[in-house]
Amino acid sequence: MTFKAPVQDMLFTMRHLARLDEIARIPGFEDANLDTAQAVLEECARLNEEVVAPLNWEGDRNPSSWHDGQVLTTPGFKEAFRQYAEGGWQGLQHPVEFGGQGLPKTIGAACTEILNAANLSFALCPLLTDGAIEALLTAGSEAQKQLYIPPMIEGRWTGTMNLTEPQAGSDLSLVRTRAEPQGDGTYKLFGTKIFITYGEHDMADNIVHLVLARVPGAPEGVKGISLFIVPKFLVNPDGSLGARNDVHCVSIEHKLGIKASPTCVLQFGDHGGAVGYLVGEENRGLEYMFIMMNAARYAVGLQGIGLSERAYQKAVQYARERIQSRPVDGSVAGAAPIIHHPDVRRMLMTMRALTEGCRAMASVAAAAYDVAHHHPDPEARRHNQAFYEFMVPLVKGYSTEISHEVTSLGVQVHGGMGFIEETGAAQHYRDAKILTIYEGTTAIQANDLVGRKTARDGGATALAVARQVQATEAALAASGTEAARAVQVRLQAAREAFEQVVAYIAAQAKADPVAAYAGSVPYLMLAGNLMAGWQMARALLAAQQELAAGRDEAFMRAKIATARFYAEHILPRALAARDAIVHGADSLKAMALEAF
């Protein structure tokens, strides 16, 4: 099955929802207009459709392998990564001064989605490298930036994030890797890190590991963690590679999905200690690592969207080709393609609406990031930063949870053939599961939404977003079309349910924290559903205007139909979530722990 990047939908979203024209008026982004976006996306689509996507099935069938400390990636990955790097894609969003292209996140996010749709396992290497670059840009010394960032942007080196240890998963206060100062500004690191994505591979000349560790006498808990650069090969002052460092891959994991991505166990210091270099100040490592984690969390949301798009395209193609049974309305005399059957259409529409809704939500969040980081007006930066921070757990949490739903539906559309590995639908389903787990599980995203993004300010940020949704409801009511009225009714009901939950969470966070956090994941799903549905409502209004102007009738009618479907079939889930959150805490707490 061939993959086709959804460039048209991405450009529509950038133009009408993310408002790329406004971002292009920010100093430094003057060239980042819709024409630039189209040129970049079309070239990105070409590379991924022709080079990266064809390797996806091969990566599942012939994954990365480990032998005597060396990891060989899937045949074709090394050559594809070279083309990716030579095309400048690793530096798309990074500063020009380090060799990047300095494009806004709004454009970069769309390219990231395309890459992940093409080949999720392959895309994980650039994702972690992006995170390492972001962390060094923020906390690295000038010398560290100059030494490590350009080779990563060029794709000659890649980056990793080393947090997890056998005894320290989500609770990083349990990190025990130690870093001993050597008196010359360097440290020797000793310890074991697990679940290290692309911690060893054959696609680049060097790997820049960013590692959390403790220095002697550091405070217990998360306040005593420092961040270190530990390169696979030591780097000479002129940038050339020196001796092999004492960090080695001792095994790779055998996984449910993303099999081509080597998930490594790294051992530091088995032969005298791995040489490391402190990033920033001692005991501030977790603060710096969260820069990587927040960038990665948003990117994982894009993984969910890309995987959903790939599964949807595959399901549509199969539904058009598979002949089975006579349609219930008799529209075809004999057996017909299953796309004629109402329930197959329901599944396909659900897949499409969820994917487009999450894409729109992520694009609008990216635009807020661009304004927050680059706009000359401090108030505009502050407002957009608050909005972006509110959206990150939704982009990560909701988009990955729906990818599990969408890829499951993709298997279901295929029927029995979906259960057969050779059709490829099962790979998308297996790959999707990890997205709800790594870079912080859905529950961790939901705890962040409850604690930091809602309870901390008494729901002020959440309710400010709700007022923006309400303004869209007014525009829908004023539109006067049947589709707009239908969407307005459902959007209003979902928004009111959201406001009721925000009030409940804000009130219960201190009074009864178990009750507040019992509803955390349903709250995240409600909020994500509403944010995606809000953007679909805005898309409907834009599509109606474009249709009235006589532009691209088929696309605009499809967008209107998809937005209405989202409102009538998906937004009502918000009401059930509201009821479970507001009225369901007591039943959750009723069971004695020993009764489980």
| Residues involved in catalysis | 439
Helices 573-583 and 520-548, packing angle to 10 deg: 160
Q: Collapsing DSSP states into helix, strand and coil, what is residue 209?
A: strand
Contacts of 180 (CB under 8 A, 6+ apart): 187, 188, 189, 190, 215, 216, 273
Tokens representing 46? 């070409």
Residue 557 to residue 563: CA distance in whole angstroms: 10
Please name the residue that has the structure tokens 């990566």.
59
Contacts of 584 (CB under 8 A, 6+ apart): 518, 519
- How distant, in Å, are the alpha carbons of 59, 73, 208, 391 from that of 198? 14, 9, 11, 28
Please name the residue that has the structure tokens 């501030």.
284
Buried-state track 178-195, b at ≥16 Cβ within 10 A, e below 16: bbbeeeeebbbbbbbbbb
Please name the residue that has the structure tokens 């976006």.
37
Tokens representing 352? 């499409």
Contact 285, 307 (CB under 8 A): no
Tokens representing 184? 């010359």
Residue 293 to residue 227: CA distance in whole angstroms: 13
Q: Tell me how far apart the terminal alpha carbons of the chain are, to the nearest angstrom.
A: 45
Q: Residue 552: what residue type?
A: D
